[in-house]
Structure 1
Amino acid sequence: MKFIKLTAISAAVLASTAALAADPVIVVDDNDAVVYEAEPVAYQAAQPSYAYNSDAGIVRNTTGAVVGTTKTIFNTLTHPASVSAEAGTLGYGANVGFSVNEKTELQAGWAGGDAADLFGGDFDANDVNYDIDTDFSNPYLGVQVRPMANWFTMGAGIIVPDNEITATANAKDSGNNGYYPVDGARYFVGTPDADQIDVARGDITEVGGVQADLEHRNKLAPYLTVGFRPNITNNFGLFGELGAAYLGKTTATVNANGANGAAAEEQIKKELEDENYLEWMPIVKLGATYRF
């Protein structure tokens, strides 16, 4: 009888294979038949290793993509988490972002162009006013952190500055009586009246126009910022940042093109370098972000 029971049960089991997960399974153990209820199997679609976080504004769980295999790293670098456009004191530019985790994003970007008007367009060095023309080039690498996983951000990184800054001196008064006050003396643009010259004070005539090229000595400039990055939609967001970059002291190359201009150049050079124009460059930027 056991054999007959087993044969019948086996046939029933084979006939109901398609419904095996839902139907009870009968197992004969010696003289007893025991019924086991089979639990249905739930099948779920595989979830991606990342998901958009609308609060933090970046993708989750991509650490493996950054520190994983060479192939995965390549895929990550060719599929950034975001692209942004920006305008500010570093110039006009853009950056791409790569997510490390839900709170941290790496950035690589560039900003440049003529940003002189953002700094007022001029500055004073020892009572001499200089108009400024700039041609900025500021590639940078940085990290943006959302310490509280909300809109507030903190940034840090390195700028590789290649900024051209030209300063043109504005003489006081006008015509032949125009002059630059330098170290207590007056360096006249042309030839003033004889009674205006004070030899004891060190006045010099026929200095001509004065122009200087300024270069910051730091080849790598560290920066720090704080900011906000609210999300408008799942893909679009805005941002603003405030901070500073340390560009270092300046080196000035001065050209005074009058007949006695060479006599003024060294002293003007010293005064410009003592001013250290934009030694600490303020960072103010606004922009928009598209997230993939």
Structure 2
Amino acid sequence: MKTLRVVLAAGVLTAIAGTAFADEQIVKESAYGLPSYLDPVSVRAEVGTTGYGGAISYRVNPYVGVTLGYNGGDISWSDDLKIDGTKYDMDMDNNNTYLNAEIYPWGASQNAFARALYVAAGVAYLDNEYDLKKRVGNSSLVKVDGERFTTGPNQSAKIDGTMKYDNNISPYLGVGINAPVYKNIGLFGEMGAYYTGNPTVNLKTSGDDQILGQNGDRTLAQAVKDEEHNIANKSKYEWMPVAKVGVSFSF
């Protein structure tokens, strides 16, 4: 899987490099009397599932743009993460640097909405870590790896662990809209996914983790280890979804 990520990433980088030599350049005057080489440049602040940060974009021509950005930190759109039926309390730490080519299929359209739509393809360096915690109190029910486990009146258990996408070079594909709203101010939104390969995951149990599940053939500790194996191997965990919004300023 790592080889596939590298091959895809190399292909994307080659395509992005090609956009920098597009023939048709934007020609316009800066609204603020800034140097002409800044005319196609914009900056933006953004926030989303990969954290918060910013980016700088260069609009090669009406159909193509190139964006370099960074997202980091912890933005808790939700304080939990559901994996194979288990809802974990989550604490995230993001560190993402990305380079995207943005293709505007209707970049020269007279319709402002159509002109603002784009498809993004790129590559990123990802170094993300998610701390996962699950507390199972007295007489409580928890679902792990598709099986239900119930603690007794005097029993409790804990599941702790980490899930990491560390030092990954990952290709990206997304769609978005980058629309001016007032003079040189614009709003944008984007949704997509990184192909990361499976994360590195480590889960452990403590407390009354030898309780049997509803099927009677596994303990909670065994089910957690099975879930750990699934996360590290199932194809559905090879993709990291992305959703973000922001404000842009064009020179």
| TM-score bracket for this pair, using the shorter chain length | 0.5 to 0.7
Structure with bigger strand share is 2
Q: How does 1:16-27 map to 2 (within 5 A)?
A: none
8 Å CA contact retained: 1:122, 1:131: yes
CA distance in 2, matches of 1:188, 1:228: 49
What is the CA-CA distance between 1:84 and the residue it aligns to? 0.7
Confirm whether residue 251 of structure 1 aligns to residue 200 of structure 2: yes
* Aligned-partner SS, 1:248: coil
1:74-89 alignment runs, 5 A limit: 81-89=41-49
Q: Does 1:210 align with 2:210?
A: no
Q: How does 1:49-88 map to 2 (within 5 A)?
A: 51-52=27-28, 81-88=41-48
Per the alignment, residue 139 of structure 1 pairs with 97
Q: Is the 8 A contact 2:58 2:65 kept in 1?
A: yes
Contact 1:108 1:142 in 2 (8 A): yes
**TM-score normalised by the chain length of structure 1:** 0.58
Matches within 5 A, 1:164-203: 164-171=129-136, 174-175=137-138, 177-178=139-140, 186=149, 192=155
Given that 2:128 and 2:166 are in contact with CA atoms closer than 8 Å, whether structure 1 keeps it comes out as no
What do residues 234-254 of structure 1 show as CA deviations (whole Å, max 9, x unaligned)? Answer: 422221222222222122212
Letter in 1 for 2:225: K
Distance change in 2, residues 1:80/1:95 (3 Å):
farther
State the shift of 1:284 in Å: 1.8
Residue segments in structure 1 that go unaligned for 5+ positions in a row: 1-48, 55-74, 193-205
For residues 79 and 115 of structure 1, do their structure 2 counterparts lie closer, same or farther at Cα, with a shift above 3 Å needed? same
The share of aligned pairs that are identical, in percent, is 29
Within a 5 Å distance, the mapping from 1:1-292 to structure 2 comes to 51-52=27-28, 81-118=41-78, 121-125=80-84, 127-149=85-107, 150-171=115-136, 174-175=137-138, 177-178=139-140, 186=149, 192=155, 208-216=157-165, 219-258=168-207, 267-275=223-231, 279-292=238-251
Q: CA deviation at 1:279?
A: 3.5
Distance in structure 2 (CA, Å) of the matches to 1:80 and 1:51: 8
The offset of 1:162, in angstroms, is 0.9
Superposition CA RMSD, Å: 3.5
Partners in 1 of 2:105 and 2:143 — Cα distance?
51
Cα 1:107–1:273 shift into 2, 3 Å: farther
- In structure 1, how many angstroms separate the alpha carbons of the residues matched to 2:171 and 2:126? 10
Unaligned runs of 5+ in 2: 1-24, 31-35, 108-114, 211-218
Instruction: Return the letter of the residue paired with 2:226.
Output: K
Q: Deviations over 1:100-145 (max 9, x none)?
A: 3332221110112223434x623143x4332111111111111112
Offset at residue 282 of structure 1 (A)? 2.3
Distance in 2 (alpha carbons) for counterparts of 1:117 and 1:102: 34
Distance change in 2, residues 1:98/1:112 (3 Å) = same
Partner-residue secondary structure (3-state), 2:179: coil
Residue 274 of structure 1: SS of its match in structure 2? Answer: helix
Would the alpha carbon gap of residues 191 and 104 (structure 1) be closer, same or farther in structure 2, given more than 3 Å must change? same
* Residue-pair matches, total: 203
Q: Distance in 1 between matches of 2:45 and 2:185?
A: 12
Listed one character per residue, the Cα deviations across residues 145-196 of structure 1 (whole Å, up to 9, x for unaligned) are 212212121111012111110111232xx33x4575556585859965xxxx
Q: Which has the larger radius of gyration?
A: 1
Equivalent AA in structure 2 for residue 157 of structure 1: G
The one-letter code of the counterpart of 2:88 is: Y
AA of the residue aligned to 1:232:
V
